[in-house]
Amino acid sequence: MSATTKTPALTIDEVLNAITERHTTASALAGEFYTRIRKEDPEIGAFLTLCEERALAQAGRIDAMAAEGKPLPPLAGVPVAIKDVMVTNGVRTTAGSKILDTFVPPYDCTAVARLEAAGAVVLGKLNCDEFAMGSSTENSAYHAVHNPRDKSRVPGGSSGGSAAAVAAEMAVATLGSDTGGSIRQPASFCGVVGLKPTYGRVSRYGLIAFASSLDHIGPFAKTVKEVALVLRTIAGRDPMDSTSAEVPVPDYVADLEKPVKGLRVGVAKEYFGDGLDPEVRAAVENAIQKLAELGCEVVPVSLPHTEYAIPTYYIVATAEASANLARYDGVRYGFRAKANTLSEMYRLTRDGGFGMEVKRRIMLGTYALSAGYYDAYYLKAQKVRTLLTRDFDEAFKKVDVIAAPTCPTAAFKLGEKVNDPLAMYLADIYTVTANLAGIPGISVPCGENHEKLPIGLQLFARHFDEETLLQVAHAYEQSIRPA
């Protein structure tokens, strides 16, 4: 291992340089990351499955290209890992559930395929809340994930493994999914960058569905530039996902350094109300002040229906989940309970294979869709979703990005909220709105509290305006970088 390569704190650019300049090889680097995973992960729990054969085969291909002096693809040799809700051909994929404990998918998620086509080395599959349902990764049917910044605390969820792996240097970048905040909130809790793109920006083909109108795939990394690079790689129309949009993918990296002077940053009072921890408030307000110093104009805006976002989300998401999880019936794949009749098999398989939170959400969703309640719950929630989206449309007539906290608090302790599902749901209060409206959102670290726990600044932008979002996030991040 040369003096210029150190496994901790490697960025994508550093990996690419090291491999291009032959200071290291993709195979050696993958080996170093696996060593680190074996050393650190027993206390963190980020990984569910390692796929060394696949990783080393990919690394070998990259090394062969480098040895022949061939031009290398844009993510050549970059060690990445994937949340276990995205299928990987031939590599066990569980969705964090026992019902898929032995499931080996016969195809790849498009986003994963695009990363590998760009040369990335997939190290393994990352732990998450079961079927992406949760805000702490404590709902994983396997084991919890411990926040690398304080191992007595949660990493956030549901993409807790994805955030923790980046924070603990066990992968240079990871993919997660965000249905109600599941990328942004763990990014905030673990002190890394996490992006939820616009709905339709990244194909959902191969993402095990939770709520089809709210699910998004997105990247985690240590810096905004790396997140921009991964987004550029995975974004774009996919004929396998009819909800993926035919909107061209800009070069998010090339445009990153555009000055942000003159951009208007909205601050919505509804995101700074009761329940917001004072240290989080102070850190986010400082960050907004920093944006003003960079030349942005800070504009008060109102998003008046914000308080209705959580109830709307928990009806829409659970209703869609009840439909999406109907397929887990023990017939074609996954766990099957022993039973004498078909209907008994369905019921015992599902009750045995699903955890409590999943069952709770299926029940809630089924109830909300059932005859007699459909109008009062599901249809009502869909109408409120329109109102919430209009709030953003109105605000974006006056501003270019909106700044807010990512979550009301820093990471809470493991076990703290497991017995109160409603308290756990309220942790998503600042993030679910972007899923309901489909707008992009990013969380970037903006400080720590007195316990040295990371705090996240959240930024929202218009549909398909990840460029502005990333520019502002990058400008902020660079402005607080130690000299």
Left, alpha or beta for 94 (phi > 0: left; psi -120 to 50: alpha)? alpha
Of the residues 159, 162, 182, 203, only one is catalytic, namely 182
Q: Which residues pair with 442 in a beta bridge?
A: 195, 459
Distance CA 478, CA 144 (A): 33
Q: Where are the beta strands (DSSP E) in 278-408?
A: 297-301, 401-405
Cβ partners under 8 Å of residue 21, min gap 6 = none
152 has catalytic annotation? no
Within residues 199-258, the interface with other proteins by CB under 8 A covers 199-200, 212-213, 239-240, 242-243, 245-247
Of the pair 36, 92, the CB lying nearest other proteins is at: 92
Q: What CA–CA distances, in Å, run from 293 to 259, 297, 321?
A: 12, 9, 44
| Span near other proteins by CB under 8 A; candidates 3-11, 49-57, 159-167, 332-340 | 332-340
Within residues 117-176, the interface with other proteins by CB under 8 A covers none
Long-range contacts at 86-89 (CB < 8 A, ≥ 24 apart): 86/111, 86/112, 86/175, 86/177, 86/206, 86/207, 86/208, 86/217, 87/112, 87/206, 87/208, 88/51, 88/54, 88/112, 88/122, 88/125
Distance CA 263, CA 401 (A): 8
Of the pair 361, 474, the CB lying nearest other proteins is at: 361
Interface with other proteins (CB under 8 A), residue from 422, 450, 481, 482: 422
Of the pair 434, 444, the CB lying nearest other proteins is at: 434
Minimum gap (Å) between residue 241 Cβ and other proteins: 9
Within residues 65-104, the interface with other proteins by CB under 8 A covers 102-104
String marking each residue 297-316 x if it binds other proteins according to CB under 8 A: --------x-xx-xxx-xx-
- Does position 334 bind other proteins by CB under 8 A? yes
83 has catalytic annotation? yes
Within residues 339-378, the interface with other proteins by CB under 8 A covers 339-348, 350-351, 354, 356, 359-360, 362-364, 366-367, 370, 373, 376-377
Of the pair 272, 367, the CB lying nearest other proteins is at: 367
Residues in binding contact with other proteins, number by CB under 8 A: 76
| Span near other proteins by CB under 8 A; candidates 19-27, 47-55, 323-331, 443-451 | 323-331
Helix axes 466-479, 278-293, angle to 10 degrees: 100
Distance CA 414, CA 120 (A): 33
Within residues 437-466, the interface with other proteins by CB under 8 A covers 437-438, 463-464
Are the beta carbons of 222 and 166 closer than 8 angstroms? yes
- Pairing verdict, β 454-461 and 441-448: antiparallel
Of the pair 45, 365, the CB lying nearest other proteins is at: 365
Interface with other proteins (CB under 8 A), residue from 63, 129, 138, 329: 329
Minimum gap (Å) between residue 310 Cβ and other proteins: 8
302 has catalytic annotation? no
Find the DSSP H helices in 128-183.
Answer: 160-167
- Does position 109 bind other proteins by CB under 8 A? no
Of the pair 31, 352, the CB lying nearest other proteins is at: 352
Task: Express the helix, strand and coil content of the chain in percent, nearest 5 each.
Answer: 40, 15, 45
- Could you list the active site residues? 83, 158, 182
